[in-house]
Amino acid sequence: MAEETAPTAPEATGPEAGAPQVDHAAEAEKWKALARKHEDGFKAARTELDTLRATADTSKTEVQKLTEKVASFEAKQAEAELRALRAEVASDLNLPKALAARLVGATKEELEADGAELLKVIGKTAEEKAGPNVRTQPTVRRGLSGGGSPTPNAETLNPRELAKQIPRR
């Protein structure tokens, strides 16, 4: 007895078993087309991003320029106010103009305190320093006078006294 077996077809095993046949070339083309589509979208988004960044940088520099100008104007205003305050304090304390620039301080009180110290150092106020030769009040002239002023004293008009005053050789 010999058993004879009929040859059978080999059984399919693995992932190909029972699955429909897939066209790999068509599947690759599908994925390539999808990748190209996304790549084009990415390029468009990148271009738009670059444009937005350029506009933001331009407007940012304009804002920075304006901010610097405002800061410059504020500094100039503060300096002008301080100069005016120094002049006011110097005038109140009768300090000479040359010393007004030397006052140090940020507030009126600080400038007044510094001015008082400065007056102590120089020892005299501007009026005292001017001395007797400087007129503080205008003089009133009465009538006209010709070059010399005559002395009303009759004693000095004595010719003998006048002769004694003349030096001899």
Does the residue 63 lie in any domain?
yes
Asked if residue 69 has pLDDT above 70, the reply is: yes
Does the residue 52 lie in any domain?
yes
Tell me the C-alpha distance between 10 and 31, whole Å: 34
- Report how many domains make up the chain: 1
pLDDT band at 64 (very low <50, low <70, confident <90, very high): confident
Does the residue 7 lie in any domain?
no
Closest CA to 125 of 105, 96, 104, 85: 96
Does the residue 8 lie in any domain?
no
Segments forming the whole domain that contains residue 108 = 27-131
Of the listed ranges 57-66, 69-78, 121-130, the one predicted with least confidence: 121-130
Does the residue 148 lie in any domain?
no
Tell me the C-alpha distance between 22 and 147, whole Å: 134
pTM, rounded to two decimals: 0.40
Burial 3-41 (b: 16+ CB within 10 A, else e): eeeeeeeeeeeeeeeeeeeeeeeeeeeeeeeeeeeeeee
Closest CA to 81 of 98, 102, 105, 99: 105
Does the residue 38 lie in any domain?
yes
Does the residue 76 lie in any domain?
yes
Does the residue 114 lie in any domain?
yes
- pLDDT, tens digit, for every residue of 112-157? 999 999 888 887 554 555 555 555 555 656 665 555 555 555 555 6
Tell me the C-alpha distance between 12 and 24, whole Å: 20
Res 109: pLDDT: 92
